Chains A and B, each alone.
Chain A
Amino acid sequence: MKEGVARFWREIPQRYNFIGNKCGTCDTVFFPPRESCPYCRRKSIGKMKETKLAGKGEVVTYTIIHVGPEDFEEQTPYPIAIIKLEEGPQITAQIVDCPLDEVKIGMKVESTFRKIQQDGHTGAIYYGYKFKKQRQ
C-alpha cells in the first residue's frame, strides 16, 4: 500500500491503542470512532465520547487467505476473521499464533500488537492489531 505516511499516522490511536467512541445518547460503542451515531443521528452530535476498548472478543466468521495481496504474499496461508469485541463493535483482523485448523467460529481471542505491512524493503512499517487465542 504505497501511500502518504500521514494517512497511516492519523489512525495510530485506533490501530495501536484501540481508541473508539461511545454515543452519549444510546451508549452504543463504535470502533473505529464515528462522527455521529447511526442510530441516534442528530441527537448524538457533540455527544460522542472517546473510549478505550479492551481488545478482547470472539470470532464471528473467518477465512484462510491462500492468494494474498502483494504485501501479504509471504504470509499466506493466513486466517482473517471478523471479531465481535466485548464492547459490541465488530472488526476485521488477522488471527496469529494459532494453527490454521484450530481457528473456529466462537473462539475467544485477544489483541496483540504486530507489524501489519511495509512499503517495500525500505519504506514505512505499518503496525496495528492482530488477534490470538485468549489465555485461559
Chain B
Amino acid sequence: MRDVAVIGVGLTKFGELWDQSFRQLIAEAGSKAILDAKIEGKDIDALYVGSMSSGRFVDQEHVGALVAEVSGFSQLHIPATRVEGACASGGLAVREGYLSIASGINDIVVVGGIEKMNDVGGTAATEILATASDQEWEAFFGATFPGIYAMIATRHMHEYGTTKEQLAQVAVKNHANGVFNPYAQYQSPISLESVLRATTVAWPLGLMDCSPVSDGAASLVLCAAEKAKKYTEKPIKIIGSGQASDTLALHGRRDICTLDATVYAAKKAYKQANLTPKDIDFAEVHDCFTIAEICAIEDLGFVEKGKGGKAIDNKITTLDGSLPVNTSGGLKAKGHPVGATGVAQIVELTTQLRGEAGKRQVKDAKIGLAHNVGGSGATCVIHIMEAM
C-alpha cells in the first residue's frame, strides 16, 4: 500500500446560498482545490463525489459524471463516481479516493463533497435527512432525526448525569470557533442562555443543539505521497483511515450511548497510524447535534465513556484547551451541507496542519483526526493526518 497526501483544498462559503446552484458550488470548490494543488485536468486520474441525497434535494442523481462535466472535464472523460453513506458521504468519498491511490491504481484524485439543501425548504430537508434513519422501523412511527439523537441524550443524562447545560456548552464553543472561520455559516458567538432558551425541537434538544440546514461544497486533491512534493511544499499525509458500520436503527445497537461504528472505525485508524487517542493534537468530530460531540469524544477514546459532559465543563476541547475539537466551528456553526461535511473536515485538518488557520490556529498542531458519521451512527469514517 502506498502513502497518500492532500496537496490541495477548496471550500465554498457554507450557508443559505440562494443565488448559487448545485453545479456552481461544486465547480467552485473543485477549481479552488485544483488551483491550490497546481495540477491540471490531464493530471487527474479519477473523481469521487460525496452527496447524500442530490436526488431529493435538487432532483438530480448521477452526479459523479455531472461534477466532471461542470468542472470542465467532459473532454477528458475522467472516471467519476458518486459515493453515498448519508451524512458520511463526504468522508466515504475521501476514503474511496485514498484507497484508489494507496492501491496503486491512481496517482492523483480529486474528491468533492456537496449538498444543496435549502432549495426544498426546512420541513422537506428534515424529512430527507430522516431517510438516513430506519424508515420502516423508526421514521414510520413518528421518530424524527433530531428525536433519535435526543433519545441518545436522554439516556446519556440518565446514565452519566450529563446536563442540558453541558450540551449547550458544545454549541457555545463551536460558535466561538466559527467566529474565526470565514467560510462558516454562522460567524457570531452565542450565549449559553440563548441555547438553553431556544425553542424545543425534540426534548431534551432545542433548536440551538442542532446543526443547520446548509448549502455548500468542499474539495481536495489527493496524491501519492512519493509525488506530492512535486506539487506543494506542505503535503499533509493521511496516516490512518478507518470505516465501520452498525444497524440503521438506534434501537438495534448494543448500547444507546455508544456509537460502535465510531469505536470500530477509530480502532482501525489508530492501528494503521500506530497511534493512541493521546497522540491526537486536535479533532474535527461529527457534531450534527450537541450530544453527538459528547459521544464522539468518548467513543474516539479522548475521554472515558460518560465523562464527555465533564470534559466540556473542564474546557478540554476549546481552542486553547489540551484537545481542541471542531476548530472550524464544527457542523453546528460552520454548517452541515451533509455530503460536503466529511470533505470539509479534511480541509480543516489540512489547513491546521499547514499552519494556515489564522486566528483559530491550534498551537503546535502535528496530528489531527476527522470523524464523520452517517445517520445516527450506522456509518462512521475516520481519518488521521500528519504534516510530511
Say yes or no: A93-B136 contact (C-beta < 8 A), given A63-B150, A80-B151.
no
Q: What 1/0 flags go to B137-176 for Cβ under 8 Å of A? A: 1111111101110111111001000000000000000000
* A61-B158 in contact (CB<8A): yes
CA–CA, A92 to B151, complex, Å?
Answer: 10
Q: Inside 8 A of B58's CB, which chain A residues have their CB?
A: none
**B188: Cβ under 8 A from any A Cβ:** no
**B314: Cβ under 8 A from any A Cβ:** no
* A90-B251 in contact (CB<8A): yes
Say yes or no: A92-B150 contact (C-beta < 8 A), given A69-B144, A82-B256.
no
A63, A77, A93, A105: residue with the most chain B Cβ atoms closer than 10 Å: A63
**Closest beta carbon of chain B to A85's beta carbon, Å:** 10
Q: How many pairs, one residue from A and one from B, have CB atoms within 8 Å of each other in the complex?
A: 97
* A69-B151 in contact (CB<8A): no
CA–CA, A117 to B152, complex, Å?
Answer: 25
* B144-A67 in contact (CB<8A): yes
* A75-B142 in contact (CB<8A): yes
* B144-A61 in contact (CB<8A): no
Q: What 1/0 flags go to A66-91 for Cβ under 8 Å of B? A: 11111010010110111000000011
* B251-A91 in contact (CB<8A): yes
* B251-A82 in contact (CB<8A): yes
Question: Contact check: which of A60, A65, A128 meets B147 at CB < 8 Å?
Answer: A65
Q: Inside 8 A of B152's CB, which chain A residues have their CB?
A: 61
* A66-B200 in contact (CB<8A): yes
Give the number of chain A interface residues (Cβ < 8 Å).
32
Please provide the chain A residues from 42 to 80 with a CB less than 8 Å away from any CB of chain B in the complex.
60-70, 72, 75, 77-78, 80
Q: What 1/0 flags go to B202-243 for Cβ under 8 Å of A? A: 111100000000000000000000000000000000000000
Say yes or no: A92-B158 contact (C-beta < 8 A), given A65-B202, A80-B147.
no
A62, A77, A78, A126: residue with the most chain B Cβ atoms closer than 10 Å: A62
Q: Inside 8 A of A130's CB, which chain B residues have their CB?
A: 141
* A70-B127 in contact (CB<8A): yes
* A63-B127 in contact (CB<8A): no
**Closest beta carbon of chain A to B200's beta carbon, Å:** 5
Residue on A nearest B133 in the bound complex, by CB: A92
**Closest beta carbon of chain B to A132's beta carbon, Å:** 14
Question: Contact check: which of B142, B200, B201 meets A94 at CB < 8 Å?
Answer: B142
CA–CA, A105 to B257, complex, Å?
Answer: 14
User: A94-B142, A105-B154 known; 16 other A-B pairs, CB under 8 Å?
Assistant: A1-B139, A60-B251, A60-B256, A61-B155, A61-B256, A63-B147, A63-B150, A63-B202, A63-B204, A67-B126, A77-B200, A77-B203, A80-B143, A80-B147, A91-B251, A92-B141
A-B CB contact pairs (8 Å), 17 listed: A11-B136, A32-B136, A60-B251, A62-B154, A63-B203, A64-B202, A64-B203, A66-B203, A67-B144, A69-B139, A75-B142, A77-B203, A92-B134, A92-B138, A92-B141, A105-B155, A117-B142
Give residues in B with beta carbon < 8 Å to A.
123, 126-127, 130, 134, 136-144, 146-148, 150-155, 158, 199-205, 249-252, 256
Give residues in A with beta carbon < 8 Å to B.
1, 11, 32, 60-70, 72, 75, 77-78, 80-82, 90-94, 105, 116-117, 126, 128, 130
